[in-house]
């Protein structure tokens, strides 16, 4: 399919959804890192990374997701990955990142899980 890389944000249930499209790799990680940094500095609530349009993630992308989760946890804010494509989901499961950072099949599941754990923070 080869979707052009893009990152877009939108409000989601008191938090922020970051929609990633295309391939998240060494060349595109800086853009997601910038958007995550902005969410940390200027917004409150949980951060949900929606991977429904993400076709591929390399090790730099995986590392960024783990770093984001750690930073948000230190700041007492929630973090979740949601809606991964089948290939991306398999990679997240094989590397254990699905359990380390929290991966959910839908945005609704992610929101409900974080509300139950941290009251959406």
Count the Cβ atoms, other than its own, within 10 Å of residue 26: 10
pLDDT tens digits for range 17-75 = 999 999 999 999 999 999 999 988 877 899 999 999 999 999 999 999 999 999 999 99
Amino acid 121: pLDDT: 39
pLDDT tens digits for range 83-99 = 999 999 999 999 999 99
Amino acid 120: pLDDT: 40
Q: How far apart are CA 83 and CA 51, in angstroms?
A: 5
Q: What angle do CA 15, 98, 93 make, to 5 degrees?
A: 150
Name, in order, each residue with C-beta under 8 angstroms of 92's C-beta and a sequence gap of 6 or more: 57, 62, 81, 84, 98, 103
Beta bridge partners of 12: 15
Amino acid 118: pLDDT: 47
**CA 111 centroid distance within chain:** 12
- Work out the pLDDT band at 117, boundaries 50, 70, 90: low
Q: Which domains does the chain have, with CATH numbers?
A: 6-118 (3.30.750.24)
């Amino acid at each position: 399919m080869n979707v052009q890389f893009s990152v877009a944000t939108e409000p989601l249930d008191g938090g922020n959804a970051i929609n990633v499209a295309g391939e998240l790799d060494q060349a595109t990680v800086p853009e997601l890192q910038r958007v995550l940094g902005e969410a940390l500095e200027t917004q409150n609530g949980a951060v949900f990374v929606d991977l429904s349009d993400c076709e591929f993630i390399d090790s730099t992308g995986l590392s960024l997701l783990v770093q984001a989760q750690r930073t948000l946890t230190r700041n007492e804010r929630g973090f979740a990955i949601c809606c991964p494509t089948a290939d991306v989901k398999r990679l997240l499961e094989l590397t254990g990142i699905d359990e380390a950072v929290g991966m959910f099949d839908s945005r609704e599941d992610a929101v409900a899980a974080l509300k139950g754990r941290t009251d959406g923070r």
